[in-house]
Amino acid sequence: METNEAQAVFESKLANNEYIEPKDWMPEDYRKHLIRQISQHAHSEVVGMLPEGNWISRAPSLRAKLVLLAKVQDEGGHGLYLYTAAETLGTSRDEMLDALLTGKAKYSSIFNYPTLTWADIGAIGWLVDGAAIMNQVMLQRTSYGPYSRAMIRICKEESFHQRQGYEIMTRMAFGSPEQKDMAQDALNRWWYPSLMMFGPPDTESPNSEKAIKWRIKRETNDQLRQRFVNQTVVQATYLGLKVPDDKLKWNPEKDGYDYSDPDWNEFKNVIKGHGICNRERINARQKAHDNGAWVRAAANAYSQKQNQQSEAA
Ligand code: FAQ
């Protein structure tokens, strides 16, 4: 097929809300854009295991430990679905991991903040998974088939994660005064980093225009951030907690809350690698990668042997 004709087929699939599949023709920029976004998303899931993983051995009950363990394992699974989706675009797992470990690829800014108390585990489930779902519900309808299908499955699990976090917050907010203080302190520290998860303001988001044109993203960073604020303020009110923003005010004209922006200089600093935990996170991933070398070698040797046997048969 001539490129012009192939381009027309691509455009018409987008216009008709049909999926683009791995073997379909696609513009090189579309492929690169997807590899960038999906691999960064995968890295976020895998690095996101670290702040919560810290608390598995310190969970306050056996039930809490089991639930947290299951959640952290789910995040690892999300990383695998997403790496696999990115591989269908012609990149390899090794290339993606190399980009993460050498600092060439980003992962979500949120995971560069420390988890200081058990209430932080509640805040991560409530706010971080809450923000992730807000963004990922739209990605279930993204134009690239393998990414969309991965997101459908991930969203089901993320809903459970969000409830797990809100349950912890509910217990603490309605618990002793000390527990309530811990819940408030966690909200104070995680609120603005959660708003940063949606990315820079639309006016400073270089990738948004193409992402919307190609139906990779269906809504902009600011639209999703606004929806998250509207939803979360109501949940905080139920908990009797105060969102740490004196400018927060219902605005009937926009049918949403006015709110203060996060500190965008802090955001830029964190994504450049200078957040509180950036170095610790990459070192932990590097260590896990090195310790897993023998597993990768054994899996490769096994699969080569299987191939040889099936060729000989
Ligand atoms: N952190 O032009 P835009 C989770 C970068 S999953 C770091 O607006 P775009 C599950 C951006 O990459 C959370 N970097 O970019 C979980 C770009 O840099 P580049 C992850 C950020 O792609 C929960 C530059 O800034 N979710 O949490 C961030 O159109 C609990 C300019 O930005 C996803 O990845 C940030 N917050 O929009 C796990 C969802 N924001 O690549 C464990 C899929 C922006 O040009 C525990 N991704 N940047 O060098 C997306 O929807 C988009 O990629 C955005 C950014 C919205 C993240």
d(CA 123, CA 133): 14
**Interval 2-51: pLDDT, tens:** 778 999 999 999 999 999 999 999 999 999 999 999 999 999 999 999 99
Amino acid 2: pLDDT: 73
Residue 220 in contact with ligand 1 by CB distance below 6 A: no
The Å distance, Cα 298 to ligand 1 centre, comes to 34
Nearest CA to ligand 1 atom 34: 41
**1 pLDDT more than 70:** no
Q: How far is CA 282 from CA 5, 101, 106, 107, 212, in A?
A: 44, 6, 11, 10, 31
State the closest ligand 1 atom to the C-alpha of 124, by its place in the atom list counted from 1: 30
71: number of Cβ within 10 Å: 22
**Tokens found for residue 25:** 């023709």
Residue 44 in contact with ligand 1 by CB distance below 6 A: yes
Contacts of 80-85 with CB under 8 Å at 24 or more apart are 81/150, 81/153, 81/154, 82/38, 82/39, 82/41, 82/42, 82/45, 82/147, 82/150, 82/154, 83/39, 83/42, 84/146, 84/150, 85/38, 85/144, 85/146, 85/147, 85/149, 85/150
Residue 46 in contact with ligand 1 by CB distance below 6 A: no
The Å distance, Cα 291 to ligand 1 centre, comes to 28
Closest C-alpha among 154, 160, 174 to residue 125: 160
**Interval 215-268: pLDDT, tens:** 999 999 999 999 999 999 999 999 999 999 999 999 999 999 999 999 999 999
Residue 37 in contact with ligand 1 by CB distance below 6 A: yes
Amino acid 215: pLDDT: 97
